[in-house]
Amino acid sequence: MSPGNALSPEALGLGMTSQRARDRMIENLRAQGGISDERVLNAMRQLPRHLFIDEALASRAYENTALPIGHSQTISQPWVVARMTQALLEFGQPQRVLEIGTGSGYQAALLALLVDEVCSIERIDELLRQARRRLRRLGFAKVRCRHDDGSAGWPELAPFDAIIVTAGAQALDPALFEQLAPGGVLVAPVGGRNGQQLLRFRRDADGISEEVLAPVVFVPLLPGLA
């Protein structure tokens, strides 16, 4: 797969069981509808989601469900990950992508299979350390991670061709829109703690356009460091 990372032998040398489980997950994603981008489906077929969660939960890794990753956070549901990733790629091939909310590192790794440059911010130090270690072990060394409150993006590395926010906020910081390159796309769950609308914003010559994609439920985007 180009132009992103290749998986390390460790990640690929997995038993048939998990490859079968991943194949089934892809069939289920197709059956649910809304996901048609073969690049996204192929990347998700490769990526070992069970290595991004605690071993005790590994048997549930390929169910279409969010799972706990500690610190009251979750790895997002596969359908939602697929939908958001597809939404980022729909208007062309982004080069540099910013993720806000590294969590387990799964979404960052998926993006690294699909785009040139992935930058990801996480506010919980311990989660970020684990994600960094995991990404390095799996061969995703080029994902740039930062321990910070990402609500206002990563201005030093802007502009981004795409920004993905993986925690729910009542409102988005205007700084995020300023960090979008022309033609750039921002996908984010916007709303309260009990549920959000997945929104896609696009920066074009006339300004910023907005589109509602789907109802979703994310953990909240929180201020400050932990």
* List of residues contacting ligand SAH (CB under 6 A): 73-76, 100-101, 103-104, 106-107, 121-124, 127, 149-151, 166-167, 219, 221-222
Whether 181 contacts 160, CB under 8 Å:
yes
| Cis ω for the linkage preceding 174 (within 30 of 0) | no
Cis link prior to 155 (omega < 30° from 0)? no
Catalytic residue among 8, 76, 151, 209: 76
Distance between CA atoms of residues 215 and 198, nearest Å:
6
Phi, psi values for residue 108, rounded to 5°: -65, -40
Strand ranges (E), the chain:
67-70, 73-75, 96-100, 117-122, 144-147, 160-165, 180-192, 195-204, 207-216
Sign of dihedral through CA atoms 18, 23, 24, 26?
positive
76 is catalytic: yes
Rounded Cα–Cα distance for residues 31 and 97 (Å): 28
Structure tokens at 35: 């996901």
Could you give the strand order of the β-sheet that contains 117-122, starting from the edge strand earlier in sequence? 144-147, 117-122, 96-100, 160-165, 180-192, 195-204, 207-216
Residues forming the active site: 76
